[in-house]
């Protein structure tokens, strides 16, 4: 039979990027872990890792073994969660992936319809678009909210749909959003300090094109991947910033921010991406249905 402890050591070596880091994480000697991985290779009859510079990389067989190890140890985590749930009221789990560049305030608004679900256990993971899609394909996530759709890849078996295309408004602190600024919007953006999303998000490209179309060269004071963090810095006086109308309700949490004007023709898109098997997840379906409405 396969020795799952050996497989676990191999899995950790790959996740940590080498034997030394895996040894630090596991608090074990490098030689011990290396010997266990060699035992795994002997039992399988295939080389799984090969030298690459100062580290190691996976062989073709190693990539296949790692993919299966991901599924196996994820199932182990799920089993532990289910066993804990049997001790009390069963939790309703919803694992969401939020891609870099998506408006977190808008994402919160989309998830609002399910946040009152009894015994909800909400797991939110933020990461690169392709990384989250891989997690979704392995059924480690139930739903990914992203600023662009999934690529057409039959192997991933993913489906996506655009949930919203929300108009984008500009906000800022009271000391910057004065009457004169509002009257001269958007020209005032050439003088005011401007906060923008980073190039990770599709919204940045749309805003850059909008600036070009209105003939404005903004004075950029900061760039942020997280819209909520950008709003916090704006509230502290760093600058004015764009925000999708969908997420504007959460600005009530930040006093002193005022509407400056609307970026006409600019919309912040959010796409819902699910695996074909995950289309039947009740809470994920509820999020999508509420957005459609």
pTM: 0.65
The CATH architecture to which 165-268 belongs is 3-Layer(aba) Sandwich (3.40)
Average pLDDT estimate for 266-282? 87
Band of residue 153 on the pLDDT scale cut at 50, 70, 90: low
Band of residue 103 on the pLDDT scale cut at 50, 70, 90: confident
Band of residue 91 on the pLDDT scale cut at 50, 70, 90: low
Q: What is the pLDDT of residues 122-142, one digit of tens each?
A: 989 888 888 888 888 778 889
Name the residue ranges covered by the structural domains of the chain: 4-84, 87-163+271-292, 165-268
4-84 against 87-163+271-292: fold identical? no
Quickly list H helices, the chain.
Answer: 4-16, 19-26, 30-44, 60-85, 104-111, 129-137, 179-183, 202-213, 227-235, 282-292
Query: Which class would CATH give 87-163+271-292?
Result: alpha beta
Band of residue 172 on the pLDDT scale cut at 50, 70, 90: very high
Give 89-125 as a DSSP string.
SPPEEEEEEEETTS-HHHHHHHHGGGTT-TTEEEEEE
Among the four given CATH numbers 3.40.50.1110, 3.30.70.1230, 1.10.10.10, 1.10.3330.10, the one describing domain 4-84: 1.10.10.10
């Amino acid at each position: 039979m396969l020795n799952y402890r050996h497989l676990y050591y191999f899995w950790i070596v790959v996740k940590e990027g080498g034997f030394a880091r895996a040894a630090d994480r596991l608090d074990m000697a490098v030689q011990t872990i290396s010997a266990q991985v060699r035992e795994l290779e002997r039992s399988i009859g295939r080389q799984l890792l090969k030298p690459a510079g100062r580290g190691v990389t996976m062989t073709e067989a190693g990539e296949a073994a790692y993919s299966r190890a991901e599924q196996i140890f994820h199932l182990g985590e799920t089993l532990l969660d289910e066993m804990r749930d049997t001790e009390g009221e069963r939790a309703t789990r919803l694992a969401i992936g939020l891609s870099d560049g998506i408006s977190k305030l808008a994402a919160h608004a989309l998830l609002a319809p399910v946040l009152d679900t009894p015994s909800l256990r909400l797991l939110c993971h933020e990461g690169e678009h392709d990384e989250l899609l891989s997690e979704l394909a392995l059924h480690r996530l139930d739903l990914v909210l992203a600023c662009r759709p999934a690529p057409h890849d039959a192997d991933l078996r993913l489906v996506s749909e655009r949930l919203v295309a929300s108009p984008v408004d500009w906000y800022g602190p009271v000391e910057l959003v004065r009457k004169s600024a509002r009257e001269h919007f958007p020209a005032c953006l050439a003088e005011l300090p401007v906060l923008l999303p980073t190039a990770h998000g599709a919204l940045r490209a749309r805003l850059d094109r909008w600036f070009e179309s209105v003939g404005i060269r903004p004075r950029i004071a900061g760039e942020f991947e997280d819209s909520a963090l950008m709003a916090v810095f704006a509230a502290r006086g760093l600058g004015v910033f764009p925000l999708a109308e969908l997420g504007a309700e959460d600005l009530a949490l930040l006093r002193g921010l005022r509407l400056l004007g609307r970026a006409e023709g600019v919309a912040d898109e959010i796409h819902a991406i699910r695996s074909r098997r995950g289309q039947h997840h009740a809470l994920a379906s509820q999020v999508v249905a509420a957005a459609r409405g």
